[in-house]
Chain A
């Protein structure tokens, strides 16, 4: 499946409490594998997006399940109890690492 790598000019990361230093080794959410459990490493993008994602429950350190990595539609993730769909403009800015 084609991976939509979006431009990532914004370099500021939103690190979680556990990570003293921002983690840069994540992959964009839209490039992770469908069905895998991932951990949010950082949310790129502006302050607004960062805070909005946090209010939706997506913030560094959170684990989520990637239900569908795009498949021609926006990304689909399960965070806590809810299912969220994130357009390419958003999912490209969420960097994740595989969750153990």
Chain B
């Protein structure tokens, strides 16, 4: 490509103003989603062409202001100040001009070249509002372009104007607003001091810094203290004086006076001829009528339960088929590697370590696609905000947030979910403490991978009461998750609940393109993860369970056993056994008997090898502790392998119990084997179920926890803490049961 000029342009605006829709309309699929370093706020970038220039478009998180009240605001502000885009497209919801312009004013006070996209003018028009965009542009002295993001109306004009502005590259020119006699003199004085000291003036206009000192903006003050502690102290002192003076004379804060003057400025902007409001304004809009039903005191929760159940059904029913394809695909790949590679550690590594490990993780992909699609739909329609609104009071009792319910349900709140998408679903939570508490407790839910283990144990030990036990387990996991959330929120994540302030956007039909883009970008992030960390850890677990292997002497014993069986067999059958194909006719039965005997030796060898492996040794060593919960070394090894993925527990137990076939050649299912084992009883089984329900999340989940919380320590925490909780609870169950005479 020839050297087209490249411009960095940012999109800023309130949440729900149609910013992302416009961004999607302008960039299409040419976008990239990452995270801002260290935090979970998504950073979206896209590329598009306009007027022969290449535009790098950054979609900033939705914010109501440019102060430091939330992660989103800090991110948006830092980007503007540090990356210095050539222009900012400020998207303004035309049907809520006053509040949206509050951000515009602050952008203009920062001085960055702004142009305004007057979005959703169709909606405003349907509400009887007529906006004279030319007049607004003249008064604001910035370009104002009407747009309809959903249809893409006006987007080319907007991009063109943005490129023009970027090419013009005007210097930053801060807007001056008068804040009245109580603030202006102090502001002027601070501004002079800042200019004289050249304090941050390379980045930020002096007046803006002064304003932030008055507003007690923690981020700016922290930065200021690092650069020039003396001046910073002086500015802080001035701010304090102004604040005290205002509290004494007006019984008010500087922020309140500043906000008041900004709104006054906006009111003056909109007066006389910019906005014309016809009588239609008071009628009830469709969205409000919908809300009367959907958030009705009695009907609302019922409908919500149905919708959440629907999401769950959608995610897990429709993903079954593609999940099956993935499983079949990886199984085929495993078989291919099995036949192509020579016997030995390399084959074992490729098949058991890499293909099974990564396959187990990528197998979740279809599930995640469907879950994200469902969530994107609920989010884009505006219903998710209503769910948070309706459930907030209940969840607040446990230190969580209304939106936490989504993560719980997806994780297996209705048995059979998956904690991986569940943890990712916490992205819809805005408040950090509640979000962390939710993503740490969501893995307590009964995910689909725990279910086969439960089903096996329940069938073996509680055969007559399957549904009741399953229901009991669901109740148990909710109770555990909520109580532990409460515990976490009143200890390590102590702190007041974030005040519940949520905008309920009007219901909208999402665009198909938007849904697909949202779903794809989130899924891709997950896939990338699987290729790195999870692969490494699967290999680690494979090594733990395969090495050091059996000593040569023991191996020779098993080999001898096999050769003696082979020696017993008649010539023809021996040949068939070596070739591995069963003869037809009467010889088949005899062949089968020998084959089973050989297999038993293999299974015994596998069991011995597992016991001798590092994992086996750890499992054996742990028995001194796990006798409190009633687990023997076999169970311990199986639980260890469950760190890799819960469904592996069954196969490891199978190996540990050297599952083979009975003398008559029929399969003995693991459940039956356990039920017959004198060392097992229903109490032990229940203690194990409780442990599996609560203990450390699988690797895929832990890596998501680390990624979503932005810190390794929370991954380690969930590993250690959950296992400790599981251990305590199941020890109580087991010891309590024995005490009650149930064992």
- The answer, yes or no, to whether B295 is at the interface (CB within 8 Å) is yes
- Assuming the A-B contacts A17-B264, A51-B67, A79-B99, are A73 and B251 also in contact, with contact meaning beta carbons closer than 8 angstroms in the complex? no
**A8 interfacial by beta-carbon distance below 8 Å:** no
Taking a contact as CB atoms closer than 8 A, the residue among A12, A56, A90 that contacts B500 in the complex is: A90
For A73, what are the chain B residues with a Cβ–Cβ distance below 8 Å?
295, 297, 389-390, 392-393
Known A57-B102, A79-B99: A74·B256 in contact at CB below 8 Å? no
Closest beta carbon of chain A to B301's beta carbon, Å: 9
A residues in contact with B503, CB < 8 Å? 56, 82-85
A13 to chain B minimum Cβ distance, whole angstroms, is: 5
- Report yes or no: B256 in contact with A51, Cβ–Cβ below 8 A: yes
Among A13-41, those with CB < 8 Å from B are 13-17, 21-22
Check if A59 sits within 8 Å of B297, measured CB to CB: no
Q: Is B263 part of the contact surface with A, judged by Cβ < 8 Å?
A: yes
Known contacts: A14-B252, A60-B260, A80-B96. The answer to whether A55 contacts B499 by CB under 8 A is no
Instruction: Pick the contact of B255: A22, A51, A67, A80 (CB < 8 A).
Output: A51
Q: Known contacts A50-B255, A51-B256: does B69 contact A15 (CB below 8 Å)? A: no
Given A12-B247, A14-B252, A74-B393, also A86-B500 (CB < 8 A): yes
A54 and B256 contact, CB distance less than 8 A: yes
Q: Collect the chain B residues with CB atoms within 8 Å of residue A59's CB.
A: 256, 259-260, 263
B-facing residues in A50-76 (Cβ within 8 Å): 50-57, 59-61, 67-68, 71-74, 76
Report how many residues on chain A are interfacial, defined by Cβ distance under 8 Å: 42
- CA gap between A48 and B501 in the complex, in Å: 13
A44 CB to nearest chain B CB (Å) = 11
Q: Shortest Cβ distance from B226 into chain A, in angstroms?
A: 22
B251 and A52 within 8 A (CB): no
Q: B216, B255, B393: which contacts A54 (Cβ < 8 A)? A: B255
User: How many Å lie between the Cα of A87 and that of B501 in the bound state?
Assistant: 6
CA gap between A99 and B385 in the complex, in Å: 28
Mark interface residues in B382-410 (1 if CB within 8 Å of A CB, else 0).
00010001101100100000000000000
B93: which A residues are within 8 A, CB to CB?
Answer: 81-82
Query: Is the pair B99, A85 in contact by a Cβ cutoff of 8 Å?
Result: no
Instruction: List B residues 223-252 near A (Cβ within 8 Å).
Output: 247, 250-252
Q: Is A49 located at the chain interface by the 8 A CB criterion? A: yes
Q: With A22-B251, A76-B504 in contact, do A89 and B99 touch (Cβ < 8 Å)?
A: no
Chain B contributes a number of interface residues (CB within 8 A of A) equal to 49
Q: Name the A residues within 8 Å of B594 (CB-CB).
A: none
Question: Would you call A84 and B256 a contact (CB within 8 A)?
Answer: no
Q: Is the CB of A50 within 8 A of B256?
A: yes
Residues of B144-194 contacting chain A, CB below 8 A: none
CB-nearest residue of chain B relative to A79? Answer: B99
Q: Is B338 an interface residue (CB 8 A)?
A: no
- Asked whether A74 and B216 contact (CB < 8 A) given A14-B256, A50-B255, A55-B64, the answer is no
Chain A's closest residue to B264 (CB) is: A17
- The B266-303 residues at the A interface (CB cut-off 8 A) are 288, 291, 295, 297
Option from B96, B102, B251 in Cβ contact (under 8 Å) with A12? B251
Min C-beta distance of B250 to chain A, whole Å: 6
Which residue, B127, B250, B256, B500, has most C-beta atoms of chain A within 10 A? B256
Bound CA span A68–B291, Å: 11
Assess A85 versus B500: contact at CB under 8 Å? Given A55-B64, A80-B97: yes
Nearest neighbor of B263 in chain A, beta-carbon distance: A59
User: Which residue from A15, A57, A61, A68 sits with its C-beta under 8 Å from B252?
Assistant: A15
Note all chain A residues with C-beta closer than 8 A to B502.
Answer: 74, 84-85
> Are B252 and A52 touching (Cβ within 8 A)?
no
Total A-B Cβ pairs within 8 A: 147
Complex Cα spacing A55 to B216, Å:
15
Contact of B497 with A by CB under 8 A: yes
Q: Which of chain B's residues have a CB closer than 8 A to the CB of A15?
A: 250-252, 256
Evaluate contact between B99 and A57: CB separation under 8 angstroms.
yes
Name the B residues within 8 Å of A22 (CB-CB). Answer: 250-252
Please tell me which one of the listed residues A79, A81, A85 contacts residue B95 in the complex, with CB atoms under 8 A apart. A81
Bound Cα distance from A14 to B67, whole angstroms: 18
Given the known A-B contacts A55-B64, A83-B506, are A71 and B69 also in contact in the complex, defined by CB atoms under 8 Å?
no
Is B500 a contact partner of A87 (Cβ separation < 8 A)?
A: yes
Are B215 and A51 touching (Cβ within 8 A)? yes
For window 62-114 of B, CB contacts with A under 8 Å fall at 64-65, 67, 69, 93, 95-99, 102-103
What chain A residues lie within 8 Å of B98 (beta carbons)? 57, 80
Question: How far, in Å, is B469 (CB) from chain A's closest CB?
Answer: 33
Q: Does B253 belong to the interface (CB within 8 Å)?
A: yes
Q: Is the CB of B96 within 8 A of A81?
A: yes
Taking A22-B251, A72-B297 as contacts, is the C-beta distance between A86 and B501 under 8 angstroms?
A: yes
Contact A50 to B253, CB < 8 A, known contacts A56-B64, A74-B392: yes
The docked-state distance in angstroms from the alpha carbon of A31 to that of B250 is 26
B393 touches A55 (CB 8 A): no
B501: chain A residues at CB < 8 Å are: 52-53, 56, 84-87, 90
Kindly identify which residue among A13, A17, A81, A85 contacts B260, using a CB–CB cutoff of 8 Å: A17
Chain A residues with CB under 8 A of B215: 51
Closest to B103 in A: A55
Which residues from A are CB-within-8-Å of B297? 71-73
Measured CA separation A85–B300 after assembly (Å): 15
Q: Inside 8 A of A53's CB, which chain B residues have their CB?
A: 501
**Given the contacts A73-B393, A83-B503, A89-B497, A13 and B252 also touching, CB distance less than 8 Å:** yes
Q: Please, how many angstroms separate the alpha-carbon atoms of A72 and B296 in the complex?
A: 10
> Is the beta-carbon distance between B389 and A47 smaller than 8 angstroms?
no
Cα(A15)–Cα(B258), bound, Å: 12
Do B500 and A89 have beta carbons less than 8 Å apart? yes
Residues 489-521 of chain B, each 1 if its beta carbon lies under 8 Å from chain A, else 0:
000000001011111111000000000000000
Name the B residues within 8 Å of A13 (CB-CB).
251-252
B250: A residues at CB distance < 8 A: 15, 22
Q: How far is the CA of A85 from the CA of B389 in the complex (A)?
A: 7
Q: Are A55 and B67 in contact (CB under 8 A)?
A: yes
User: Are A83 and B504 in touch, CB under 8 angstroms?
Assistant: yes
* Given A84-B502, A86-B500: A55 and B252 interface contact (C-beta under 8 Å): no
Partner of B504, one of A14, A17, A21, A85: A85
User: Which chain A residues lie closer than 8 Å to B396 at the CB level?
Assistant: 87
- In the complex, A15 Cα to B521 Cα: how many Å? 46
Q: Which of B668-705 contact A (CB under 8 A)?
A: none
Binding site for B on A (CB under 8 A): 12-17, 21-22, 43, 47-57, 59-61, 67-68, 71-74, 76, 79-90
Leading 9 A-B pairs by shortest Cβ distance? A87-B500, A81-B96, A54-B259, A14-B256, A57-B99, A51-B255, A55-B65, A55-B64, A81-B95
- List 9 extra interface pairs beyond A17-B261, A86-B501, CB under 8 A: A51-B255, A52-B69, A57-B99, A67-B291, A72-B393, A73-B389, A73-B390, A84-B503, A87-B392
Provide a sorted-by-A list of 25 A–B residue pairs whose CB atoms are within 8 angstroms: A17-B260, A22-B251, A50-B253, A50-B259, A51-B69, A51-B258, A55-B67, A72-B297, A74-B393, A74-B500, A74-B502, A76-B295, A76-B389, A80-B97, A80-B98, A81-B96, A81-B124, A82-B93, A83-B291, A83-B505, A84-B501, A84-B503, A84-B504, A85-B392, A85-B503
